[in-house]
Amino acid sequence: MTKITTRIKLTIIFLLVITVLTIALQFTTIQYAAVRFSTSIYITLNYNNKGLMYEKIEYVPQFNEYAISYKDNEDSVYTFMVKSKRMPFIISHDPLDSK
């Protein structure tokens, strides 16, 4: 009986977290923060050695994407494009990707 109760509690908690995230992502400030956080993780995993520093973020309605810019030590600016207003966020353009 306790396993079922624990499973039900975990399911309810999971659904509450998803609901809160869905509601929170309706606000522009939260969207910007989530996009910036996602891009920061992407940059840390792929370009940690380049010393990129966050510069700015803006929403580009023509593409329905976010443009987030980072600057390196030599003052070169790299703008990454991020799709989606909700999770998951997808890096649609990586200026440093050599593929």
pLDDT in tens, 42-81: 999 988 888 899 999 998 889 888 999 999 989 899 999 9
Q: How far apart are CA 82 and CA 60, in angstroms?
A: 10
pLDDT tens digits along 74-97: 989 999 999 876 666 788 888 888
Asked, for residue 99, whether it belongs to a domain, the answer is no
The H or E element spanning position 49 is: none
Q: Residue 24's pLDDT is what?
A: 67
Number of structural domains found in the chain = 1
Of residues 92 and 22, which shows the higher confidence score? 92
Asked if pLDDT for residue 29 goes beyond 90, the answer is: no
**Considering the entire predicted model, what is its pTM?**
0.68
- d(CA 98, CA 92) in angstroms, rounded, equals 14
Query: Which residues constitute the domain of residue 16?
Result: 2-93
Structure confidence at residue 76 (pLDDT): 92
